[in-house]
Amino acid sequence: MSPRAVAVTGLGLVTPAGCGAEAVWNRFLDARPTARRDPELAGLAVDFSCPVADFDPAALLGGRLARRLDRYSQMAVAAARQAVADAGLDPGEWDGTRVGVVLGVSANSVHTYAVEYARLAEGRADRVSPLMLPRSIPNMAAGEVSLDLGARGPALVVSTACASGTSALALAADLLRAGTCDLVLAGGTDSPRTPMTAVAFDRLGALSRRRHDPEGASRPFDADRDGFVLGEGAGVLVLERAEHARARGARPYAHLAGHGSAADAHHPTAPDPDGEGLARAARAALADAGLAPYEIGHVNAHGTGTALNDPAEAAALRRVFHRPPPVTANKSVIGHCMGAAGAIEAALTVLTLRHRLIPPTANLDRLDDGIGLDVVAKAPRPLDAPAALTVSSGFGGHSAAVVLTA
């Protein structure tokens, strides 16, 4: 293990596949997609998404706090509480000045914007909520987690589009390596399921229009893919300095051994077709972890299921690995959770290492001939190496990668 590695001691997940690590893991092993008709998108060309079901913010957080928060912050606080409990931590006993929060956010408070701008447009300025600003500014995801748990160290939000959750983990690791914090609650959160977001992505040609079969719509690397499915959720990992975890007797799930990031500088929304930026991010993560490509036993792909992303990502992985290891794509089950995607996928990679089992990619019926990857499908596959790579990309050409080890 790299001396720069940090321990992963707790996981919190609020996802379309369920809430809590065990429920989410079991859904992914079964490769059961969560996409369904969405009443919030009724009447649109794309009227389905992957929502978080059975999430009752008032019951989980208390009515007063739930009313104050937009949905993306509600999910962040719920996931952070889960992660802290899973790590065996008591916020009443820790030194809050040594505890940080770093969350990735991309879409942030689209729900609040829609409601309050409608009131203003209708000439009802006096009905605009005084909570609009504290609910909607993206930093409040980290701010509310900090308030809720008494984390008084750095509280930061990272926004690198759909790479935000992975970028947040990287920044959190650096805070720990620098000695600024003893532990950091790191991850991402987003809830982009609104008509405007759906229309905007559809106008870009990014969303699947498989209305006749929502469950089969998210199909990364499949020859019949036609775009991604909107999802929502939050993933929070407790990261600790290894010595801090040892001192309190915590047994890590895994270790974050290295990270890397890069920019394509190619196009505002389209990835570099050669995957050069993502390849550089992956190589930087491997170098940071002190590992060679052949030591990686699994890649958790960004895998959006769009015409442009999948071949570009496949090209990047072929550039990094002489023979790419087995790949899986979690968005096939939960859709694209935007700023939360990388964090949720990192948590699932941690569980893959812990169980030494790679979940299958759902809806992969016919691998695109041009992909050239070993994509796990139909059934889980044993993991035969104690190291994995998870990668993310986003609009603006952002790429981020994290190496996790058992």
Positions marked active-site: 162, 302, 336
CB atoms within 10 A of CB 247: 11
Specify whether the CB–CB gap between 381 and 289 falls below 8 A. no
Specify whether the CB–CB gap between 204 and 142 falls below 8 A. no
Taking the C-alpha atoms of residue 127 and residue 383, their distance in angstroms, rounded to an integer, is 55
- The residues, ordered by sequence, that sit 6+ positions from 186 with a Cβ below 8 Å of its Cβ are 101, 102, 103, 168, 169, 171, 172, 173, 236, 237, 238, 239, 343
How far CA 372 is from CA of 129, 200, 239, 350, 367, in Å, comes to 52, 31, 34, 25, 9
- The residues, ordered by sequence, that sit 6+ positions from 203 with a Cβ below 8 Å of its Cβ are none
Based on DSSP, count helices (H) and strands (E) in the chain, helices before strands: 14, 15
Specify whether the CB–CB gap between 208 and 257 falls below 8 A. no
How far CA 290 is from CA of 74, 281, 405, in Å, comes to 37, 14, 11
Handedness of CA 348, 269, 116, 156 (dihedral sign): positive
Buried-state track 131-147, b at ≥16 Cβ within 10 A, e below 16: ebebbbbbebbbbbbbe
HSE, CB side, 13 Å, CA atoms: give it for residue 30.
12
Taking the C-alpha atoms of residue 168 and residue 170, their distance in angstroms, rounded to an integer, is 5
DSSP codes joined into one string, 154-206: -EEEE-BTBTHHHHHHHHHHHHHHTTS-SEEEEEEEE---SHHHHHHHHHTT-
Specify whether the CB–CB gap between 156 and 187 falls below 8 A. no
Specify whether the CB–CB gap between 329 and 231 falls below 8 A. no
Q: Which residues does residue 187 pair with via DSSP β-bridges, in sequence order?
A: 103, 236
